[in-house]
Structure 1
Amino acid sequence: MHAEYKMPGGKLLVINLQVQAGRLQDVQLSGDFFLEPAEALASINQLLEGLPADCSEEYICHHLTQSLEGKVEMYGISPAAIAAVVRRALV
């Protein structure tokens, strides 16, 4: 599954993923945004792995916010934007 989302006032997010047994698998987020530290992208992908494919945008956003708070600086991207592109891919 594939989706793209341009965050209002932000950058383009692209996601590729698969669903197996009702869970997100092989998640690969990319785009023209910036993260500090740079390794944070792998952490975000890992946090999305295994989430239920039917979870809400709000759930995904809360999960990412709680897990990344104070550890990652996002520029042109947000947990809400990541949640939006994930849900767009699953529709």
Structure 2
Amino acid sequence: MPERVVTEKVPGGKLLRIKVDYSGTINSVKITGDFFLHPEEAINDIEKSLVGAKADDVLGIVTRVVQEKGIELIGVTPDSIASVIRSAMQ
């Protein structure tokens, strides 16, 4: 499957843009938007952890990485990130 980009406004009004290359599992994913997270470089940890994931595993992976790394999300939640990623994978 070619790369797909989905942009959605999530609850709370923030914009979340997902670019995903998916063929059964995630080959690559880029998460951007007008939300904040701390530490900022933690977005790379989330993206890297999703490589090889199936759609059904996305929420669990995002939630686990956020908890394990102590990531503070502002304007988005693990649920909203996972939801937009799954939309991009359809």
Q: Please give the TM-score of this superposition, normalised by the length of structure 1.
A: 0.84
2:46 match: 44
Q: How many residues align?
A: 86
In structure 2, list runs of 5 or more residues that go unmatched: none
Shift in Å, 1:5:
1.7
Instruction: Work out the CA distance in 2 between the residues paired with 1:64 and 1:12.
Output: 18
Matched with 1:61 is: 59
Deviation readout 1:1-60 (Å, 9 max, x if unpaired) = 11112111141110111124x2101211100000100111111111211102xx33xx42
Structure 1 segments, 4+ long, off by >4 Å, are none
Show the counterpart of 1:18: 21
State the partner residue of 1:8. Answer: 11
Counterparts of residues 26-37 of structure 1 (less than 5 Å): 26-37=28-39
Give the drift of 1:62: 2.2
CA distance in 1, matches of 2:51, 2:63: 15
Please, which runs of 5 or more residues in structure 1 have no aligned partner?
none
TM (normalized to structure 2)? 0.85
1:84 aligns to 2:90 (yes or no): no
In structure 2, what is the Cα distance between the partners aligned to 1:26 and 1:62? 17
